[in-house]
Amino acid sequence: MTTPLQPAAPPRTSRALSGIQPTGRFHWGNYFGAIRQYIDLQPGGGHQAADEAYYFIADLHALTTVRDPARLRALVHAAAVDLVALGLDPERAVLFVQSDVPEVTELTWLLMTVCPMGLLERCHAYKDKKTRGLPADAGLFTYPVLMAADILAYDATVVPVGEDQVQHIEVCRDLAGTFNHLYGEVFTLPRPRLVEGGAKVPGTDGQKMSKSYENTIEVFEDLAAQKKKIMRITTDSRPMEEPKAPDDDHLYQLYALLAPEADRLRMAELYRRGGFGYGEVKKALVEAAAAFFADARARRAELESDPARIEAILAAGAAKARAKARAVLDRARRACGLDRSAPAVASGKGKP
């Protein structure tokens, strides 16, 4: 006997979303740890691509650290130029600035009302500052709630992030779950998507590359300045002849990210054989980096010569993003009883 065919469930739209803070110029860690993944997830970007992609420059988050208005404006513009130059395609992904969608801040409040203090007290951005005895403002404390609103406002299903952000996605899922439990199915629960391999890009001193450690190599810094930084990358003092394990060396790790496969294999062999100087590796890294980002640099120069073009891209992105966020916010407002003109879509279970 054959079982009757079940009607197929309608395929769910996969929607990628992520935000990146404009707190400095992008470095190799940001590119390999985040931006490259955004590009791969754009519709049409290969087998891993999502059906839709929303990416934004998180200027509201950056306000907790960048206190100079002219600098913030410049960093937001530069971030947009860099993202497009690196391959984020505004025809395929919605690129916008976080604060251009005020619906998100209203949604933040709705989520704040269902957010236990303890949940935020456990979040690392705030906890780290507190344990170091540094003053923290309410913006930093409530940062994960704003981030949750960023995600929920667009019905995102997948959020490409680095390991450090996974905790915040869990907070987002928690808040969405609580809200849905109280008021009906309003929000889509997203899942994080970690970069393949999850490897951390090392900085010039071998620690994780990060602005806070001042060990970054920026993607678009002047090539002469970049060369100087590369030539100063720390190395060990073992004799040249000694064979070395390539994967344990941060200089090699950087080279492996940037060099063509055949060159990488040749370099790994050189390490295993020994008898080379780190100076040679650094020179090869300088060249590999210049070649790897050459097209992006050319696109960046072109975009920079036409600032109105980037602003037009951001305005179009904001309009699309706002339309989506408005619909989600209206759904949430109606569900929790803020919209007096419409009957509730779902019967709220109410608070105990």
Q: Where do contacts with ligand ADP occur on this chain (CB under 6 A)?
A: 20-21, 23, 29-30, 33-34, 161-162, 164-165, 200-201, 208-212
Which of ligand TRP, ligand ADP, none sits in contact with 147, Cβ below 5 to 8 A by type? Answer: ligand TRP
* Residue 283 annotated in active site: no
The set of long-range contacts for 206-212, using a CB threshold of 8 Å and a minimum separation of 24, is: 206/234, 206/250, 208/29, 209/27, 209/28, 209/29, 210/29, 211/23, 211/24, 211/27
Task: CB nearer to ligand TRP: give 17 or 289.
Answer: 17
Which of 130, 208, 283, 320 is the catalytic position? 208
* Residue 211 annotated in active site: yes
* Closest distance of CB 129 from ligand TRP, Å: 14
Q: What's the CA gap between 36 and 201, in Å, rounded?
A: 13
Which of ligand ADP, ligand TRP, none sits in contact with 58, Cβ below 5 to 8 A by type? Answer: ligand TRP
CB-based contact 257:291 (threshold 8 Å): no
* Closest distance of CB 61 from ligand ADP, Å: 9
Length of the chain counted residue by residue: 352
Element (H, E) at 276: none
Which of ligand ADP, ligand TRP, none sits in contact with 208, Cβ below 5 to 8 A by type? Answer: ligand ADP
Task: CB nearer to ligand ADP: give 2 or 212.
Answer: 212
**CB neighbour list of residue 290: distance below 8 Å, 6 or more residues apart:** 223, 226
* Residue 208 annotated in active site: yes
Q: What's the CA gap between 156 and 83, in Å, rounded?
A: 20
With b meaning 16 or more CB within 10 Å and e meaning fewer, what string describes 66-87? beeeeebeebbbbbbbbbbbbb
Task: CB nearer to ligand TRP: give 76 or 159.
Answer: 159
Which of ligand TRP, ligand ADP, none sits in contact with 29, Cβ below 5 to 8 A by type? Answer: ligand ADP
Residues with active-site annotation: 129, 208, 211
